[in-house]
Amino acid sequence: MRLFSGLSLAALLLGSANAVDAASPAGGQKAAARDHRQWQSLFPQEMYEFLQCKVCQTPELSGSVGDSGCDYETVDKAVSAHFHPLLEELSTLTFFRYFKVDLGKECPFWQDDGMCASRDCAVCECPKHEIPATWYQMDMHEQQQKRSSAPTPAPATAGKPCDQQTGESELSRVDRTNAEAGEAFQEWSEEKSINVWSSQGELEDEMVYINLLENPERFTGYSGYQAERIWRAIYDENCFLPPSGQEKELTGMCFEERVYYRLISGLQASINTHIALRYKHGDYWGPHPSLYVHRVGKHPERLQNLYFTYLFVMRALGRYRNELLAYDYSTGNDADDQRVREILRMLVSDSQQSSSSCPVEQQSVLAGFDETALFRVPQKGLSYDQYQDAKEQKKQLELQFRAKFQNVSRIMDCVTCEKCRLWGKLQTMGLGTAIKILLADDVSQISPLHRNELIALINVANNLSRSVDGVRLLRDLEFIEAMKQLAAIVVGTSIAIIALIVCIRRRNATKDAKEASAKKKN
């Protein structure tokens, strides 16, 4: 009886809550958290957890994350209590807020035929007043120097201002309104190098600064054949794939092939989790738990790969600790610059210096992947010739690893949703930067990271952190949706039973009245 009453009350509560959220643009995750608290208050904790396990398709993760040295419980605690709040704040500060990118490169693999295929659709020349004055002056100075030493180019049609671009939907258009940056902010440029794992655009004239805060990764409506073609090109042509039927266990693959596959799969799982966390429901943004369940939640291997990718990137931050702390983060915004250094010290500090509420879990995550196992050939038990052959095979595998990942970054230029292209290019650069750090024999000997690489690395770490942190919320929301459906069934059944009882009683009352009337007549 108590369960019946609880379900009925829950249906009424959630019905009224959803009515408020639908009318409020600020609904979203706050409303979802409120719904979760309402549901938890209706049941004892043990009953809540029992019901959740029974009705949710998203599994409760436990045990070790595959191919890592960390378990799910440790990651969850460290993310929610330490890493996610720090990375979230770090990504809002001036240094990590802007990303310089060429969004107009043509697809090198097939002819663009989507909604943003033309240059006017995908990229626009932003008006001068949208670019901080010092940036514009430095860009113009460098471009003039290049033009003075190059042949005079053919006349080109001037680009349209951002507010006049055509051919894009509102969801896919990138907003280039930049918040004010400090006067000392220095521009960056990309260099060609065998150590650059992602291709981002070599023409400085074509690169623009994007304010990432005003263009968050979320649902854009980009789907169907065009989106499927991107992922097919990545998996079918530029990935190491497990044998058919072994996608969950990844048996039959060497360690390096598993790592590559997990990174690509984990990145896709993170992107889909962001879409589910920030989905457009009519006139407001909020979570979409059923979409999450369909794309990620009911696939345990995708969840595992998400956690693995997060541990991989966090290990890169941990290994690059000294260089991160010594980097020059000057932007001219003194308060932001100081806060960047403070957060980074808290983020990657060792166990003796850590002020974290969970220092053990923090260090476990920062050391959650063993990069020394990559492309390593154990000499024990091998003859000299066998050892040399094995080393050559690993060398060739590393070249394939690099070539495939560079191709994945180039495929991002085939994404015809501009905002999706922005985040695709940023995250492949961030992941490529993590790979470069972890494959280096000595990180102190590699060239200092370019500013764009560091910005991409921190932002991909933040995105992965947000996805991992969102797994539990989306599972709770999946439970709420399932219980709402159950509550609706129970309430509907109850109403039907009550209506049936009322009808039976009325019929019996009518029958009794007729019998009584007949007796009086007799």
- The count of C-alpha atoms lying within 13 angstroms of the C-alpha of 315, restricted to the half-sphere facing its C-beta, is 22
As given in the structure block, the two tokens for residue 14 are 């959630």
User: 212, 189, 263: which is closest to 90 by C-alpha?
Assistant: 212
Here the tokens at position 510 are 């009518």
Residue 491: strand, helix, or coil? helix
The string of DSSP letters for 211-275 reads EGGGS-S------THHHHHHHHHHHHHSS--PPTT-TTT-TT--HHHHHHHHHHHHHHHHHHHHH
Cα distance between residue 472 and residue 117, in whole Å: 38
**Are residues 197 and 439 in contact, defined by beta-carbon separation less than 8 angstroms?**
no
Does residue 1 sit in helix, strand or coil? coil
The one-character DSSP state at 101 is E
The end-to-end CA distance of the chain, in Å, is 47
Distance CA 493, CA 188 (A): 65
- Find out whether 257 and 240 touch, Cβ atoms under 8 Å: yes
Query: CA 56, CA 292: separation in Å to the nearest integer?
Result: 12
Q: Which residues are annotated as catalytic?
A: 417, 420
Nearest to 279 by CA among 290, 294, 264, 269: 290
329, 79 in Cβ contact below 8 A?
no
Give me the DSSP letters along 350-411. Answer: -TTT---S-HHHHHHHHT-S-GGGTT----TT--HHHHHHHHHHHHHHHHHHHHHHHHHHHH
Distance between CA atoms of residues 328 and 182, nearest Å: 14
Helix, strand, coil shares of the chain as percentages rounded to 5?
A: 65, 5, 35
Binding-site residues sit at 218, 220, 231, 265, 295
State the binding site for FAD: 218, 220, 231, 265, 295
Q: How far apart are CA 418 and CA 413, in angstroms?
A: 9
Distance CA 257, CA 374 (A): 10
Question: Token pair for residue 76?
Answer: 């969850």
Tokens of 489: 């069934």
**Any bridge partners for residue 281, and if so which?**
284
